[in-house]
Structure 1
């Protein structure tokens, strides 16, 4: 029995259902399209980045359709975490796994057959166990099964970064239950992996939703790592600079244990995680990290899909990852809540040698070849001088097109760009050599030909007789490697991905050869580290209230034996601290506060906020019950001396950066002062701060995204537009609308 209930049966729209169950006013990009397809019983393949809202794509349909949604999840800790979050949100969910005793399993099966459960989480091993298909058959006959959702679906593909053979068996779902729709979901999948997933799971004419892989809130950087002692001191210094929770990834168990011990000795709150620990210890350590009992987790990649903590503020790779796809997934553990987060990769030649040795120990030669190519791609990423986000997105077949220059402004190469030089002639030599070699060789061979090598292979192939042989003697091997990587990252040449990295010309290559396209190369300079964390722009009272709310959240979470973010994500606490809602009606307007959360936590949080405001002589937020289109920061905050000082310097003609330098504050803080002053009716010359063209573009988006958040507006405008520009124009525009 497969059925669907139209959302209009209980709710006038999908948005109403979303707000009721999960507390959000709008869907994220791509979610609504997937949910509509699932409600029509269509198969779906969903590729959304970490933190992009994949889970909602099956959770909301599960609540609107008849029957039980069966979710296949690879790890017990991950499924238990999801179940805890759903139950706390008033959603009937449960899981069946090997950690349960016999009586618990029987009770949960009884609840399922009685129609008391809407979402059932199982591991692939449990799904394939004797008797489980009989349970599914009884479910279909009694309450119905609304669909199968295969989470972490990249595990199905041998081309994925975390292939698991047991996932291959999931095709039996289509064989045994052909009438039930199947959806596959993952955060990372290249085109090749996507095709493999669809074939392996036998999806029928699926909706394929591939969201952008761009995570604009993450800052990426690569730092050179010194020797053992120096490298540790670099790590310790960085850890102490960061605020909030962090993950440090290492390649070996030995390195994990060493770092955990050293960091503990240096006063850090840290636990280790790797496959050498017992299941109980791993589970206990992960739980303590998720519940904010410790700040740091030092781990191997075994600490992967099981982490669902949204407020990780930094991820450090102390050793080089094995491939770009794995690095994207692991670094993406940071900032799942959409707030700013930092991702650092330390690079040392010795680590590369160690990774190559580990690859050489693989028994299968084909696996060795593929792994070696993937490691080389990772090294190219670490050594590149172009935008790091561009390299990541290019790997997944996406082009960074937010700005004309293709910069993300959120990586070390964009914030501290190396000098740009015109290498068009060198690029023409390089591409011409690829063509002369009939597009059958990799980069190393092309460089050998260009530099006039007399290696036996060159002579045997008679490539010493090519017109391009020796035309690049004036450049070193490293310079040609730099150019080759740059051409790949700019997609001016292609490379095969089957383990034999052969260079192939594309349409852009021929444009370069025909002198229709110039080639710019970023040339390395002395290393400069990325920017330090910005001084928060929020006022001291907001930060103090945020700490109070975090303490309250932790207390409530401990009482329920759940992670703090199950109560509320940090983004919701930040909005509460900004808007200071003191009535249940105002509290219900906070993003992430649905009916269940309002009923469960509304009173205790508004009491705490009301008490804080009374203690510090603060007024309640006059805009708490107004339209959500008005920014949270626009509140009746008194204009103090610090704001007046900023205003005086502005009226003297100083720019935001100049005011920030003179006052020793961040530009973000100065912009927040000016935003407040505009809202309070003071005269601020926005025309001098933001060009007319930019103002028009921002106002267009303001009118289009009437209820949009600051992040949504910047995503639409692109990273060439700063948050400061948007906030200033928004404040001026809203003031003009109200006058």
Structure 2
């Protein structure tokens, strides 16, 4: 049946009013508005947004503004229950049907659906094709109407995705049975190949594909070497440090045995930790997960069986005690940290013993093609772990997103390795790729360069090539490091079909023709410290920290009374804003991000009373004008550490003085200021770049566009450096946003 778009409700003259009323947010993020508008038109879409980017809202808000029921296909029982609980707490009619429900409860919910009392229904893919549910769906389509099918975790439909699930392959039947009902597919991770597979497998009809940036700027990435028995001691010290300011964390291990061992040792050492893996009973897994979600324990130690779709926004760290299986899986797993936009920490402990374990697991796959793909993915995650270049550059490059590097929030950028000119070695390597006719992978090219007498080299007569043996002076690992660097700098390409063959590109020929130099980072550095240690100012201070603790306790008590996770009441970001601004009236409290009409009515009085009590005890008043000042915290690009820099800038400190005050690199501080300018915070750009130097920079931007700093600098002269160009560009972009 054809779905109809509901007439605009006079209560909500704009989507923003509906957003605030139902969910408590003042503005949309990323591409949410565009996706919602398309959904309201009844058209198909594929949405790729990073974890914490707000994918769920893209189908939840339209479900409230259209006639009929939105059917959400979700892969895990825990995920659907979690989302339904959060929706119900916002006063939204949502429910789920799954095997955990007794028959009488299931019948009651089915009747609510057929009566038109439910707007969102969550089901697992297996249930969709159960004869009983198929009949219910037919009656639902005829009596109430189905407005949309929302396919969550859509990467599960593709065998090229990191979590392929065969039952997802049947979902194309929805299009066959209900050709007029629009489908919206959503996922946090999908390469171009996976996106194409999703569109094809789900039979999406001329879909608009929305791909947001994969850059999670609030996450700090690092890789630490495994050091035998000392590794656990380092892990324990790290966990204690990361938990010092409250919060929770996840530790991933490859085996069930390692999960049980780490969970037990942490518990013995005073850390409240629980295990989670497939070897536990369903009841134990469910109980442990519930205790973690409700903040009864701080740390979950788990295999990758844990976490998919877990909607806990205040996870402050994700540690991989063992090597992840692939980059896409790592992005998804590490992305469970910092979903609320606050700073979070992601660590991988890397040792070559883990490589053998992963290779063993790959060998258990029955399909040789799957093994081949998995081994290439393993090489990619090893490259990530061993690389000395920006971690984000590698991650984003995997998803086809260009990133210049020097993110200022990973170990390689904050503690860079020495840079050396390896142009001659790069020319040798690329020349060898060319003479091998671009038909071989990295290992074979290195064998030829180092003069190996392996049987394959001899059989192919590659010992007769002019490049044979010209690289004996470098180790295998040095050549691998160079090859990885060439790939990350887009000076070389590698096929991704399971057979990793090296291919030359235009950049390769520029190197060979001596048109550009090749500089690589030599991975010789001490263990890096993190921003969490370098920047204590990022946390709340003074009265705000005390009030935050009180508000956390109040939130936990209310959550326990309602048997819901604490973040369902309010997220950490909302509590921090309350702690800073101290709202003492219902109107002020309503301005807090995350406070919608339902939350205001349900919690407004009790939270304001708690804040009033705190202010009376400490002789404080409401922080005048503070609500607008912290608004940038809700922005995906502005975190607490940036606001600390803003505060010092507004005290008339120069960037160099701020760097000294905070113990940061000057480049990091300038990066903070650029982001603050983009977010339209009160940064005086004239103090950073003299007005007379801004004029030619703005003229250059007008001439060549804002996209490339190098193109802008080329339009100018060498007397302009990239820092001042970046600052002026940020100010210029903020002005364009205001004009739009």
TM over 0.5: yes
- Separation in structure 2 between the aligned mates of residue 129 and residue 582 of structure 1, nearest angstrom: 53
Q: Give the secondary-structure state (helix, strand or coil) at the position aligned to 1:655.
A: helix
Q: 1:607 aligns with which of 588, 609, 613?
A: 609
Q: Give the secondary-structure state (helix, strand or coil) at the position aligned to 2:131.
A: coil
- Separation in structure 2 between the aligned mates of residue 335 and residue 501 of structure 1, nearest angstrom: 34
Residues 530 and 659 of structure 1: CA distance in aligned 2, closer, same or farther (over 3 Å): closer
Residues 626 and 72 of structure 1: CA distance in aligned 2, closer, same or farther (over 3 Å): closer
- Separation in structure 2 between the aligned mates of residue 157 and residue 546 of structure 1, nearest angstrom: 43
Residues 612 and 226 of structure 1: CA distance in aligned 2, closer, same or farther (over 3 Å): same
Residues 358 and 630 of structure 1: CA distance in aligned 2, closer, same or farther (over 3 Å): closer
Contact 1:152/1:185 (<8 A) preserved: yes
Residues 524 and 321 of structure 1: CA distance in aligned 2, closer, same or farther (over 3 Å): same
- The equivalences for 1:403-482 within 5 A come to 406-482=405-481
Quote how far apart the aligned CAs of 1:499 are: 1.5
Q: Tell me the residue number matched to 2:358.
A: 355
Q: Tell me the residue number matched to 1:675.
A: none
Q: 1:569 aligns with which of 571, 574, 587?
A: 571
Quote how far apart the aligned CAs of 1:338 are: 0.3
Deviation sequence 1:493-512 (CA, Å, 0-9, x none) = 11111221111112222222
Confirm or deny that 1:198 pairs with 2:164. Answer: no
Residues 219 and 81 of structure 1: CA distance in aligned 2, closer, same or farther (over 3 Å): same
Q: Tell me the residue number matched to 1:287.
A: 290
Q: Give the secondary-structure state (helix, strand or coil) at the position aligned to 2:113.
A: helix
Q: Give the secondary-structure state (helix, strand or coil) at the position aligned to 1:536.
A: helix
Contact 2:220/2:531 (<8 A) preserved: no
- The equivalences for 1:208-223 within 5 A come to 208-223=209-224
- Separation in structure 2 between the aligned mates of residue 654 and residue 133 of structure 1, nearest angstrom: 66
Contact 2:220/2:530 (<8 A) preserved: no
Q: Tell me the residue number matched to 1:714.
A: none
Contact 1:68/1:118 (<8 A) preserved: yes
Confirm or deny that 1:234 pairs with 2:237. Answer: no
Contact 1:585/1:625 (<8 A) preserved: no
Q: Tell me the residue number matched to 1:124.
A: 125
Quote how far apart the aligned CAs of 1:25 are: 1.0
- Separation in structure 2 between the aligned mates of residue 540 and residue 484 of structure 1, nearest angstrom: 50
Residues 424 and 306 of structure 1: CA distance in aligned 2, closer, same or farther (over 3 Å): same
Quote how far apart the aligned CAs of 1:657 are: 3.5
Q: Give the secondary-structure state (helix, strand or coil) at the position aligned to 1:180.
A: coil
- Separation in structure 2 between the aligned mates of residue 171 and residue 164 of structure 1, nearest angstrom: 14
Contact 1:7/1:17 (<8 A) preserved: no
Q: Tell me the residue number matched to 2:368.
A: 365
Contact 2:98/2:127 (<8 A) preserved: yes
Runs of 4+ aligned residues of structure 1 deviating over 6 Å after TM superposition are: 625-632, 649-654, 684-688, 693-697
Q: 1:621 aligns with which of 623, 628, 636?
A: 623
Contact 1:586/1:624 (<8 A) preserved: no
Q: Tell me the residue number matched to 1:705.
A: none
Quote how far apart the aligned CAs of 1:130 are: 1.3
Quote how far apart the aligned CAs of 1:630 are: 8.9
Confirm or deny that 1:304 pairs with 2:304. Answer: no
- Separation in structure 2 between the aligned mates of residue 438 and residue 422 of structure 1, nearest angstrom: 26
- Separation in structure 2 between the aligned mates of residue 577 and residue 176 of structure 1, nearest angstrom: 52
Contact 1:224/1:346 (<8 A) preserved: yes
Instruction: Pick which of 372-381 and 460-469 moved more.
Output: 460-469
Unaligned runs of 5+ in 2: 635-647, 674-680, 699-721, 736-740
Quote how far apart the aligned CAs of 1:653 are: 12
Unaligned runs of 5+ in 1: 633-645, 672-678, 701-719, 734-739
Deviation sequence 1:631-674 (CA, Å, 0-9, x none) = 99xxxxxxxxxxxxx99x98999822434569xxx999x99xxx
- Separation in structure 2 between the aligned mates of residue 547 and residue 625 of structure 1, nearest angstrom: 19
Confirm or deny that 1:329 pairs with 2:332. Answer: yes
Contact 2:115/2:144 (<8 A) preserved: yes
Q: Tell me the residue number matched to 1:176.
A: 177
Q: Give the secondary-structure state (helix, strand or coil) at the position aligned to 2:424.
A: helix
Contact 2:573/2:633 (<8 A) preserved: no
- Separation in structure 2 between the aligned mates of residue 695 and residue 578 of structure 1, nearest angstrom: 37
Q: Tell me the residue number matched to 1:637.
A: none
Deviation sequence 1:306-350 (CA, Å, 0-9, x none) = 421100000100000110010110010000000000000001121
Count of matched residue positions in the alignment of Structure 1 and Structure 2: 678
Q: 1:589 aligns with which of 582, 588, 591?
A: 591
Quote how far apart the aligned CAs of 1:423 are: 1.4
Deviation sequence 1:179-229 (CA, Å, 0-9, x none) = 1011110001111111111111000100100111000000000000111x2
Contact 1:650/1:659 (<8 A) preserved: no
Residues 568 and 652 of structure 1: CA distance in aligned 2, closer, same or farther (over 3 Å): closer
Deviation sequence 1:543-585 (CA, Å, 0-9, x none) = 1111111111111111110000001111011111111111001
- Separation in structure 1 between the aligned mates of residue 661 and residue 272 of structure 2, nearest angstrom: 38
Contact 2:577/2:627 (<8 A) preserved: no
Deviation sequence 1:418-447 (CA, Å, 0-9, x none) = 011121222122112111111110001111
- Separation in structure 2 between the aligned mates of residue 479 and residue 452 of structure 1, nearest angstrom: 15
- The equivalences for 1:651-690 within 5 A come to 655-660=657-662, 690=688
Residues 686 and 628 of structure 1: CA distance in aligned 2, closer, same or farther (over 3 Å): closer
Q: Tell me the residue number matched to 1:82.
A: 83
Instruction: Pick which of 440-449 and 125-134 moved more.
Output: 125-134
The alignment yields a C-alpha RMSD, in angstroms, of: 3.2
Q: Tell me the residue number matched to 1:636.
A: none
- Separation in structure 2 between the aligned mates of residue 14 and residue 394 of structure 1, nearest angstrom: 34
Contact 1:660/1:667 (<8 A) preserved: no
Quote how far apart the aligned CAs of 1:365 are: 1.9
Q: Tell me the residue number matched to 1:254.
A: 257
Deviation sequence 1:32-58 (CA, Å, 0-9, x none) = 111111111111111001001000000
Residues 69 and 659 of structure 1: CA distance in aligned 2, closer, same or farther (over 3 Å): closer
- Separation in structure 2 between the aligned mates of residue 685 and residue 395 of structure 1, nearest angstrom: 37
Q: Tell me the residue number matched to 2:524.
A: 525
Contact 1:321/1:378 (<8 A) preserved: yes
Contact 1:589/1:628 (<8 A) preserved: no
Q: Give the secondary-structure state (helix, strand or coil) at the position aligned to 1:407.
A: coil
Residues 661 and 259 of structure 1: CA distance in aligned 2, closer, same or farther (over 3 Å): closer
- Separation in structure 1 between the aligned mates of residue 562 and residue 692 of structure 2, nearest angstrom: 49
Quote how far apart the aligned CAs of 1:455 are: 2.2
The normalised TM-score by structure 1 is: 0.87
Contact 2:583/2:608 (<8 A) preserved: yes
Deviation sequence 1:495-547 (CA, Å, 0-9, x none) = 11122111111222222222233221101113322325131353310111111
Q: Tell me the residue number matched to 1:535.
A: 536
- Separation in structure 1 between the aligned mates of residue 94 and residue 509 of structure 2, nearest angstrom: 56
Instruction: Pick which of 422-431 and 174-183 moved more.
Output: 422-431
